[in-house]
């Protein structure tokens, strides 16, 4: 029954995408982030994303939705990034395996440009952000409930075969959607909707903490700290954090405490030492290959040549060292440029319309997108998710937000009606007749 329902939802979105390509792009990111087909027994490896992507492209042409893409500095860097990774794949050390990863990544970037054509209105943009948030929230809310029911005795995992399969990766994605939940909680009018978002935020926090991910714990602390500093209720918030933290310490099992406190003893931690070995490997590859080794460089064969400890083979465990090893120093500069320009534009929008009531939504969304990207950059320092689709969707949201907000007319104050002139107020009253 579950397989039938998932099949109807996934494949039923394809004909809808032909008539409403703006809905089709939402279905595409829903499939890419939530991976509903991986929750079934028969559709796990079906190319459902490709089917919806083709239907969306077909609908874009038929419905005449081909529009000029907003040409911002971040847009140009995304184009350069796509071309650059194509060139490095041509010279990749891993050969055919690199092209498999390039195929996956290039589709994400290409559909980002399609989204920029289709979502040039506020409602469409907010739907885009909401679907991205809700796709991850499905697992974070479920994981929070599971953690409470089991008192944090087990780790929270994502769907198999996806970017967020691991507990660390899922926790990072959950950190990225927390600010977006807060944005939508501020936008809704009904009290029950607001409390539903706040409840989801609390459950997501539990899911993050009980992922047992030390990197996610550090990233969450960083984002929460910045939120507190910017908040008008920072002292009340700090008091609440202290109270909840004390309650959490009494609630969590000993295994969780041991896991988190092991951050201080990284010198003797085998996992931490493996990450440091992988980072040295990345630097050595970049120093000997100007354009990096291409996609899927972290292999046993290459560790034998470039790693300080050839037998300790690990994944990148860092978006920065992952890009450095696979795309070289030029690729790292492009990657950092995309994130830096997006953050700069969000900061500029956050400060640009503080008192414009018609653009208050844009200011709030800019601030929350900024926190989401900062969460990705904090947590990404310890996880190899440089090609994960969610941060690129957030970058696209930044580009579209700037475009939509600039086109929105500024609020014009309505003049109060003038009082009727009294006789003799500005001179003599006109004579009758």
3-state secondary structure 108-159: HHHHHHHHHHHCCCHHHHHHHHHHHHHHHHHHHHHHHHHHHHHCCCCCCCCC
Domain annotation covers residue 242: yes
- Return the closest-CA partner of residue 181 out of 138, 233, 211: 138
> At a CB cut-off of 8 Å and minimum separation 6, what does 290 contact?
328, 329, 330
Section 9-29 average pLDDT: 89
Cβ 211 vs Cβ 156: under 8 Å? yes
Do 261 and 144 share a structural domain?
Answer: yes
Number of structural domains the chain divides into: 2
List of residues 6+ apart from 4 with CB closer than 8 A: none
Regarding whether 223 and 104 lie in a shared domain, the answer is yes
Q: What is the pLDDT of residues 158-170, one digit of tens each?
A: 787 788 888 888 9
| Nearest-angstrom CA–CA distance, 99 and 87 | 11
Looking at the structure, tell me whether residues 188 and 290 fall in a common domain: yes
Q: For residues 328 and 295, what is the distance between their CA atoms, to the nearest angstrom?
A: 11
Q: How far apart, in whole angstroms, are the C-alpha atoms of residue 378 and residue 343? A: 13
Residue-wise pLDDT tens digits, 265-301:
555 456 677 888 889 999 999 999 999 999 999 988 9
> Could you tell me the pTM of the whole model?
0.87
Q: Are 171 and 192 in a shared domain?
A: yes
Q: Which domain holds residue 49?
A: 1-66
The residue among 66, 97, 115 that closes a domain is 66
Residues 28 and 116 both lie in one domain: no
Give yes or no: residues 77 and 202 share one domain: yes
Of 66, 81, 103, the last residue of a domain is 66
Domain termination site, one of 48, 66, 84: 66
- In tens, the pLDDT along 31-76 reads 989 888 777 767 766 778 888 999 999 999 998 888 999 999 999 9
Whether 300 is in a domain gets the answer yes
> Which DSSP category does 419 fall into?
P
What's the CA gap between 32 and 151, in Å, rounded? 31
Same domain, 79 and 52: no
């Amino acid at each position: 029954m579950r397989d039938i329902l998932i099949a109807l939802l996934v494949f039923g979105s394809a004909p809808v995408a032909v008539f409403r390509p703006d809905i089709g792009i939402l279905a595409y990111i829903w499939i890419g982030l939530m991976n509903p087909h991986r929750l079934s027994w028969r559709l796990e490896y079906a190319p459902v994303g490709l089917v919806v992507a083709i239907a969306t492209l077909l609908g874009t042409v038929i419905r005449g939705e081909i529009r000029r893409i907003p040409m911002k500095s971040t847009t140009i860097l995304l184009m350069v990034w796509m071309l650059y990774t194509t060139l490095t794949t041509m010279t990749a050390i891993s050969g055919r395996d690199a092209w498999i990863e390039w195929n996956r990544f290039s589709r994400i970037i290409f559909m980002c440009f399609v989204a920029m054509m289709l979502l040039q209105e506020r409602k469409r943009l907010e739907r885009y952000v909401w679907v991205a948030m809700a796709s991850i929230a499905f697992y974070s809310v479920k994981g929070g409930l599971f953690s409470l029911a089991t008192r944090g005795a087990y780790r929270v995992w994502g769907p198999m075969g996806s970017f967020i399969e691991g507990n660390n990766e899922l926790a990072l994605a959950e950190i990225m959607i927390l600010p977006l939940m807060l944005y939508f909680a501020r936008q809704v009018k009904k009290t029950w909707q607001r409390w539903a978002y706040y409840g989801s935020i609390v459950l997501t926090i539990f899911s993050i903490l009980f992922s047992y991910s030390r990197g996610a714990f550090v990233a969450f602390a960083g984002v929460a700290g910045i939120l507190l500093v910017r908040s008008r209720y920072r002292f009340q918030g700090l008091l609440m954090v202290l109270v909840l933290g004390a309650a959490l310490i009494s609630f969590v099992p000993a295994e969780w405490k041991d896991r988190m406190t092991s951050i201080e003893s990284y010198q003797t931690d085998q996992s931490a030492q493996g990450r440091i070995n992988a980072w040295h490997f990345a630097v050595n590859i970049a120093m000997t290959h100007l354009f990096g080794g291409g996609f899927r460089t972290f292999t046993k064969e290459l560790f034998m040549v470039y790693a300080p400890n050839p037998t300790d083979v690990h994944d990148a465990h860092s978006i920065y060292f992952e890009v450095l090893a696979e795309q070289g120093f030029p690729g790292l500069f492009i990657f950092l440029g995309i994130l830096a320009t997006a953050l700069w534009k969000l900061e500029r929008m956050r400060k640009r319309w503080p008192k414009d009531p018609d653009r208050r939504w844009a200011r709030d969304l800019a601030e929350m997108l900024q926190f989401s990207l900062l969460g990705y950059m904090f947590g990404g320092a310890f996880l190899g998710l440089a090609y994960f689709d969610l941060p690129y969707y957030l970058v696209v949201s930044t580009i579209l937000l700037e475009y939509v907000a600039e086109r929105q007319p500024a609020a014009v104050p309505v003049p109060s009606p003038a009082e009727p002139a009294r006789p003799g107020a500005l001179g003599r009253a006109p004579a009758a007749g």
